[in-house]
Amino acid sequence: MSVFSSIFNVSDAAMWVTFAVIIGSIVLFANDRIPLELSSIGVIAVLLLFFQLFPYIGEDGTNLLGAEALLQGFANPVLFAIMALLVIGQGLYNTGALEGPANLIARFGRKGPWLAFTVAFIIAGTVSAFMNNTPVVVIFIPIITAVAGNLGLNASRAMMPLSFICILGGMTTLIGSSANLITATIAEQNDVPRIGFFDFTVPGLVLASIGALYVIFVLPYLIRKSDDDLADAKNLDGGKQFIAQIPLKEGHPWIGIESQAGFFPGLKNITIRMVRREGQEFLPPFDEVTLSPGDTLVLAATRKVLSDSLQQTAQQATVWPDDEPEPENGGGEKRQPRRLALSIAEAVVAPASRLVGANVDPEILHAETGMELIGIQRRSRMGRGAISNIRLESGDVILLLGEQKEIKKLRSNRNLLLLDWLTEELPQTHHALHALVIFALTITLAATNILPIAIAALLGAVTMIATSCLNVRQALRAIDARVFLLVGTAFALATPLQITGGAQFVATSVVDAFSGAGPAVLLSAFFLLTAILTNFLSNAATAALMTPIAVSAAREIGADPMPFIYGLIFALNCSFATPIAYQTNLIVMGPGNYSFKDFVRGGLPLVVLMWVAFSLFAPFYFNL
C-alpha cells in the first residue's frame, strides 16, 4: 500500500474526489478557450496520478483503479465502432453514393428547407424504433449533408437534431435501444413481469412527440453557428460566384436545354452570361436559344454548382499508365486506363505575380499549375465577354481542377497562393455502388447480430479503403481526435464512479429522500436522477445500476414497479446534455463541428422538458 494511503482514508475520500473530478471535467469541457483534446488528457492525467498515489485496493489486494482500469476505455469496442463508422460515412460521402436519396428528400425543401429535414428526421426516428439507432444515424449523416448542400444550408444545424430524433425514436419500443433490453432483462430477474415489444409505446410516443417538436422547431436556433464557425473545410461554397467558361461537347448533359422567357430554367442556380456559337455571341435575354454541341457558355455559378456539374463530365476522365498514349488497335498488349482522382482547389493571384496583367488563358494556367481552369472570381466587376478577355489582377481567385500531386506542387508556387483548406476532392462516383454494397453489408451484419457492430464496422472501413472508395489519408482525416479522446475520458470517469460506489450513493440518497413523498414524486425524482446519470455514465451501466433500485423502491412504498421500470427506460434515453452520453452524439460531433458546450446548450433543455412532461403525464397515465 502507498505511504500516502496510510495517512489518507482512500475508501471514504476516493468517491468525493471522483465527484470533484467529474465536476471539474464538465467545467473544462464547456470552456471553449481550452481545446477539448487538452481538457481530456488533463482529466485522465489527474485520475491516473491520484489513484497511483492513493490506490483503491480490492479484496484481492490489487489496485482496482490503476492505469489499466482507467485506460481500458481506449480499447473499448464502442470506440473502435465509432471511429470505423466515421470512416464508412466518409467513404459514402467521397463516392457521392447517397446523392440520389438526398435529392429526393431535398425536393421537399422547395416548400421550405426545414420540411426536407423534417421528412428525413421522421424517417430516421421511425426506423430507430425498430433497429439500433447508431447505424441509422450513420446512414442519415451523409444524406443530411447532401440535402444541406443542395439547399445551400449548413449541415451543423441538422446533425445534433438527427442524433436526438433517433434517440427519441429508440424510447418507443423494447428493441429501440440496448438500454431498453438491459432494463427489461434485469427487471425480469427481479421478479417483474416480462415487458412486451410495444408495452410502453404509447407513453413513449407521447414523450418522443413532445421532444421532436423541440428538436425540429427550437434546437436549430440554439445551436446556430456564427459565420466564422461555418467557414470550415466542409462549408466550401459560401455563395461565392465564379465566372466559368464551359464548352459543350457531344454527350454533355446540358445539350438540348432551351431558353424560356430569356433565361435557361433548366440550369438551376446557374446564370448564363453569354452563349458563343460559331463566332456569334448571344447575350441575355436569350430568345429561343437551344444549347447545342460546339457551343461555349460563359456563366456565373457557385463552387458547389460547378463541382456538381463536373461530376457528370470531368469525373469520367481517364489517363493511360505513365501518361503514354492509348495503344493503337492490335499494337501490343492492351493496357487498361486508370481513372483520375480529381480535386478542386482555389488559388489567389499573388502580389507581384508574373500572371498579373495577363489575359486569362487556360493553356498558360495549365502550364503554370498542371491543372485545368474551371472559373475565376474577380475583386472588381466583370463584363459579359469571353473569359479570355479578362486580365488577371492581384487578389483574383481562380478555381482549378487537377490531381492531388499537382495541388501539392501548387503549395510552393510563388505566383499563385493555394487556399489549402478549401481543397475538395471530387466524389469518386464510379465507386458509388461499391460503397453502397459495403455499407449495406455492414449494417446488415450489425443489425442482425451476425457480427458485433465493432467488428462489422471495422471490416466495412477496411473494405472501403481496399476498394478505393477512399484512400488511407482520407480515412485518417475522417477519424476525429476529439471524439477519440472524449470517449476514452468518459470511460475513465465512469469507472471510478462505479467502483468507489459514487453512483450507488447518489441513487440511494435520492430514493431515501423522496420515498415518503408518494409514488408520483418519487417517480419524478427517480426519472431526473437517472437522466442525469445517463449523461455521464453509459446508459447500459446506468440501467444495470438503477433497475434493481427502481424495483426495490417501488415495492418499499407498496407501488407497482412497472411505472418505475418504464420511467427508467425513458430516462435512460434522455442522453442529450453531453456528447459522451451516447455514441450517436459522438458520431455527429465531428460532422456538426460541435463543442461540448453546444450539447449542454441544446440538450439540457430537452432533458428538463422530458422530465417535466413525464412528471405531468405519468401520474395520469399510470393512475398514481
347, pLDDT greater than 70: yes
Q: Are residues 359 and 405 in the same domain?
A: yes
Q: Provide the terminal-to-terminal Cα distance of the chain, rounded to the nearest Å.
A: 52
Residues facing 373 on adjacent strands: 400
In terms of pLDDT, which residue wins out, 233 or 403? 403
Q: Are residues 228 and 121 in the same domain?
A: yes
Pairing of strands 372-377, 342-349: unpaired
Arithmetic mean of pLDDT over the chain: 77
Q: What is the pLDDT of residues 490-535, one digit of tens each?
A: 778 777 877 887 767 776 777 777 767 788 998 998 899 889 988 8
Q: What is the pLDDT of residues 43-70, one digit of tens each?
A: 889 889 988 888 888 777 788 888 888 8
Q: Is residue 186 part of a domain?
A: no
In terms of pLDDT, which residue wins out, 441 or 339? 441
Classify burial at 278, counting beta carbons within 10 Å of its beta carbon; exposed 0-12, middle 13-18, buried 19 or more.
exposed
Q: In the listed set 411, 427, 443, which residue is the last one of a domain according to the structure?
A: 427
**Do the beta carbons of residue 17 and residue 55 sit within 8 Å?**
no
How confident is the model at residue 166, as a pLDDT?
92
How confident is the model at residue 316, as a pLDDT?
41
Mean pLDDT of 75-94: 74
Mean pLDDT of 236-259: 75
109, pLDDT greater than 70: no
The CATH number of the domain where 280 resides is what? 3.30.70.1450
Q: What is the pLDDT of residues 419-447, one digit of tens each?
A: 654 555 555 556 778 888 888 788 778 76
**Do the beta carbons of residue 72 and residue 494 sit within 8 Å?**
no
According to DSSP, residue 242 is labeled E
Q: In degrees, to the nearest 5, what angle opens at C-alpha 9 toward C-alphas 6 and 15?
A: 140
**Cα distance between residue 304 and residue 432, in whole Å:** 19
Q: In Å, how far are 94, 215, 370 from 160, measured between CA atoms?
A: 22, 9, 41
According to DSSP, residue 62 is labeled S
How confident is the model at residue 447, as a pLDDT?
63
Q: Are residues 82 and 152 in the same domain?
A: yes
Q: Are residues 381 and 399 in the same domain?
A: yes
Q: In Å, how far are 219, 237, 248, 603 from 226, measured between CA atoms?
A: 15, 16, 40, 19
Cell numbers linked to 516? 415518503
What confidence category does residue 371 fall into, taking pLDDT thresholds of 50, 70 and 90? confident
Q: What is the pLDDT of residues 156-191, one digit of tens each?
A: 888 899 999 999 998 988 877 777 877 887 788 777
Residues facing 258 on adjacent strands: 290
In this structure, what are the phi and psi dihedrals at residue 336, rounded to the nearest 5 degrees?
A: -95, 135
Return the SS3 of 416. Answer: strand
Q: Is residue 93 part of a domain?
A: yes
Q: Is residue 181 part of a domain?
A: no
Q: In the listed set 404, 427, 450, which residue is the last one of a domain according to the structure?
A: 427
Question: Which residues touch 544 (CB under 8 Å, ≥6 apart)?
Answer: 182, 186
**Cα distance between residue 468 and residue 522, in whole Å:** 56
Instruction: Name the percent of the chain lying above pLDDT 70.
Output: 78
Q: Is residue 260 part of a domain?
A: yes
Q: Which of 182-186, 274-278, 542-546 is predicted with the least confidence, judged by mean pLDDT?
A: 542-546
Q: Is residue 133 part of a domain?
A: yes
581, pLDDT greater than 90: no
Q: Are residues 215 and 136 in the same domain?
A: yes
How confident is the model at residue 161, as a pLDDT?
93
Q: In the listed set 427, 457, 476, which residue is the last one of a domain according to the structure?
A: 427
**Cα distance between residue 52 and residue 91, in whole Å:** 42
Q: Are residues 149 and 257 in the same domain?
A: no
Q: In Å, how far are 113, 116, 147 from 104, measured between CA atoms?
A: 13, 9, 9
**Cα distance between residue 24 and residue 40, in whole Å:** 11
Instruction: Name the percent of the chain lying above pLDDT 90.
Output: 11
Mean pLDDT of 249-259: 82
**Do the beta carbons of residue 577 and residue 598 sit within 8 Å?**
no
Q: Are residues 303 and 363 in the same domain?
A: no
Question: Which residues touch 185 (CB under 8 Å, ≥6 apart)?
Answer: none
Nearest to 527 by CA among 548, 509, 540, 511: 511
Q: Are residues 91 and 148 in the same domain?
A: yes
Q: Which of 235-239, 425-429, 558-562 is predicted with the least confidence, judged by mean pLDDT?
A: 235-239
Q: What is the pLDDT of residues 198-225, one digit of tens each?
A: 889 999 999 999 999 999 999 988 886 5
Q: Are residues 273 and 403 in the same domain?
A: no
Q: Is residue 623 part of a domain?
A: no
Nearest to 178 by CA among 583, 461, 490, 531: 583
pTM equals 0.57
**Cα distance between residue 157 and residue 505, in whole Å:** 38
331, pLDDT greater than 90: no
Q: Are residues 81 and 214 in the same domain?
A: yes
Q: Are residues 435 and 421 in the same domain?
A: no
The total number of structural domains in the chain stands at 3
Q: Are residues 355 and 466 in the same domain?
A: no
How confident is the model at residue 318, as a pLDDT?
40
How confident is the model at residue 236, as a pLDDT?
42
Dihedral sign for Cα atoms in the order 302, 307, 313, 318: positive
Q: Is residue 191 part of a domain?
A: no
Q: In Å, how far are 192, 325, 500, 547 from 507, measured between CA atoms?
A: 20, 75, 14, 11
Q: Which domain holds residue 287?
A: 241-309
**Cα distance between residue 240 and residue 420, in whole Å:** 17
**Do the beta carbons of residue 481 and residue 37 sit within 8 Å?**
yes
Mean pLDDT of 472-481: 75
**Cα distance between residue 569 and residue 98, in whole Å:** 34
Q: Is residue 52 part of a domain?
A: no
